[in-house]
């Protein structure tokens, strides 16, 4: 986890949070399954192991880009079959990251240590999936994750905090609920202005609550375009995302972390890249490369392209081009992924 020094901080204050010096602050909230997850669509296995392996796929990719992002939090939320918020799954994948960390850091010392990431891994609350907001946020609904969110947004850092919501948004919503009920209107608005949300679908009732209650909150909601990551997305080139490609470039001979990349997502028959959550942080990764400005979702980038719902709201939804907004970048995205995966196995620069 990289921290910017006083000089760089002063530059950010002078030039604005979008300056090239401002490495994106990122929190990932994932309905993360155990590392030994059984695809939910397989129809067998105990409930605590049946879930969606695509979160594991996305997390492995995310960790390979952790040197370009200021990772400030990893949150275990609740969804799918088990509907349990347990950070044990995240900690298990960090144990795998620990096994390749030394090689990664030889390529770039900016990669955070596994211990640093463990220290910012938190659990939310269970039994959230599909439930209305008034049942899962409010008094006595705080969690270690929602409390941590308040603390990190409150830090004296000019950069906004990007929340990549892969599961439900309960933890972020609870933080905002508490701030609204304990602070002045002006302080609430200052808090909201520091938050950016990229949300994959509406997986519990708090996603719609955020949209309804906070018109000024910066929210990207993708309910369709994220499917451009899927190996079988219509019009895309499956050769860059099928199991053969994954085995050659990620799963085989690329260290322990690569070997745990699941063969499929929810449907075990659709083998290859699913990673429906990855556009949330690829939106920032392509911003780091100067392809797009993450603060302007109307610009095309690795995380897709979006349109503003209403001029008086800071909410963005999928561009009508559909999943092509994501899969049109597939060759570049996958080649970059494969290049980084080599770093896990080989400490020498490629």
DSSP category for residue 278: T
Which residues have a Cβ under 8 Å from the Cβ of 123 and sit 6 or more positions away?
Answer: 75, 76, 85, 86, 87, 143, 144, 145
Q: What is the 3-state secondary structure (H, E, C) of 131-198?
A: CCHHHHCCCCCCCHHHHHHHHHHCCCCCCCEEEEECCCCHHHHHHHHHHHHHCCHHHHHHHHHCEEEE
Residue 1 lies in a domain: no
Does residue 350 form part of some domain?
no
- 121: CATH: 3.90.245.10
Q: Is residue 324 part of a domain?
A: yes
Q: What total number of domains does the chain contain?
A: 1
What range does the domain containing 212 cover? Answer: 6-345
How do strand 161-165 and strand 25-30 relate by DSSP bridges?
parallel
Q: Could you tell me if residue 170 is inside a domain? A: yes
What's the pLDDT score for residue 16? 38
Residue 327 near residue 228 (C-beta atoms within 8 A): yes
Structural domain includes residue 175: yes
What pLDDT, on a 0 to 100 scale, did the predictor assign at position 35? 79
For residue 221, tell me if it sits in a domain.
yes
Model confidence pLDDT, tens digit, residues 259-305? 999 999 999 999 999 999 999 999 999 999 999 999 999 999 999 99
pLDDT of residue 6: 36
pLDDT at 129: 86
- Positions of the chain with pLDDT under 50: 1-21
At 49-68, the pLDDT tens digits run: 888 999 999 999 999 999 99
């Amino acid at each position: 986890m990289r921290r910017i020094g006083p000089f760089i901080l002063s530059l950010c204050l002078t030039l604005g949070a979008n300056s090239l010096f401002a490495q994106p602050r990122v929190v990932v909230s994932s309905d993360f399954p155990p590392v030994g997850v059984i695809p939910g669509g397989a129809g067998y296995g105990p409930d605590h192991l049946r879930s969606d392996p695509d979160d594991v796929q996305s997390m492995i990719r995310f960790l390979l880009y952790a040197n370009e992002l200021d990772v400030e939090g990893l949150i275990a939320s609740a969804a799918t079959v088990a509907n349990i918020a347990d950070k044990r799954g995240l900690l298990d994948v960090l144990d795998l990251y620990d096994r390749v960390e030394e090689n990664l850091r030889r390529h770039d010392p900016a990669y955070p240590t596994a211990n640093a990431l463990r220290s910012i891994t938190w659990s939310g609350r269970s039994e959230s999936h599909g439930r209305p907001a008034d049942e899962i946020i409010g008094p006595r609904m705080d969690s270690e994750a929602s409390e941590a969110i308040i603390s990190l947004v409150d830090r004296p850092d000019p950069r906004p905090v990007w929340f990549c919501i892969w599961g439900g948004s309960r933890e972020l919503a609870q933080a905002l609920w508490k701030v609204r009920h304990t602070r002045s209107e002006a302080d609430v608005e200052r808090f909201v202005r520091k938050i950016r949300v990229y949300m994959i679908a509406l997986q519990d009732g708090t996603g719609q609550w955020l949209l309804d209650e906070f018109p000024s909150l910066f929210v990207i909601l993708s309910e369709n375009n994220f499917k451009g990551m899927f190996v079988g997305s219509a019009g895309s080139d499956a050769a860059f995302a099928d199991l053969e490609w994954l085995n050659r470039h990620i799963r085989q001979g690329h260290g322990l972390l690569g070997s745990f990349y699941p063969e499929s997502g929810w449907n075990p028959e659709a083998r290859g890249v699913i990673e429906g959550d990855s556009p949330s942080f690829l939106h920032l990764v392509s911003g780091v490369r100067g392809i797009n400005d993450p603060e302007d979702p109307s610009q095309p980038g690795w995380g897709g392209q979006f349109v503003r719902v209403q001029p008086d709201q800071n909410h963005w939804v999928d561009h009508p081009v559909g999943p092509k907004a994501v899969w049109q970048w597939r060759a570049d995205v996958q080649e970059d992924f494969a290049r980084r995966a080599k770093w896990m196995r080989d400490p020498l620069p490629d």
